[in-house]
Structure 1
Amino acid sequence: MPATLYQNPLCNKCCTAKAMLLKYNEGRPDEAKLDYQVFEYLHVSWTREMLEDILAKIVPGEKNPSPLVMMRKIESEFTDLGLDKLDPVADRLRLLDAMIAHPILIERPIFIVDDKAVVARPADRIFELLQ
């Protein structure tokens, strides 16, 4: 299964992460290259199941991890929707639903390899999954 990078091509951190993946493969024989796919996260049809799966990979072993670990709290939608007032445990489904309705709230880039994921901020966090 290929690795996955969720990114925004207008985001410097995302462009850096994507460039790092290209550089990682540079000069490697084909059989040693990382197979990966890139998705523009704003155009993904997000579901709770998808977000829950990514959360479980970002915070392995934690039951019902807080969606805040993958939310852009600096976006105006975060405060405009009153998400800053919600309890990350009691209101986790509301937070997930907000990310589905407003994908701009999803932090990026997100890099996934097998059963592990990182929010790649800084971008070189992708290498945590490539060792």
Structure 2
Amino acid sequence: MKKNTHGDDEINMHEEMRRAFALLSGKWKLEIMWLLNQRMYRFGELRKAIPGITQHMLTAQLRELEADGLVSRTVFAEVPPRVEYQITQKARGLGPTMEALTAWWNEYGKTVPVKPASRGRKARVVKSKPK
């Protein structure tokens, strides 16, 4: 990738893009961000919405996203404690990227082979009780 120069400061766009990719790299971060782009979630809701993710991994990924300024965490002083996660204004800037990925998937997703389920926590099927 070419280097862009602005006066005395030289910007290596390859390095800058590597930094950008690192913010969302990992098995779960994009999925977490996609969900939070839709609405605010509580921790348990996120865990249920992402089949295969463990509690430990979700906690770690959310902490990294929060440290990078992409996710905000709000703790409510209630018993039991309530914690809500939402994307930040900075992360909202990724909205067009999410929309472009959705449009791409709608066009080409059916051509992508389905992969077998991966390791991790299996999705639970919750059966509702008859009323």
The structure showing larger relative contact order (alpha-carbon pairs under 8 Å, at least 6 residues apart) is 1
Q: Which TM-score applies when normalising by structure 1? A: 0.25
Q: Which entry has the higher C-alpha Rg, 1 or 2? A: 2
Q: Which TM-score applies when normalising by structure 2? A: 0.25
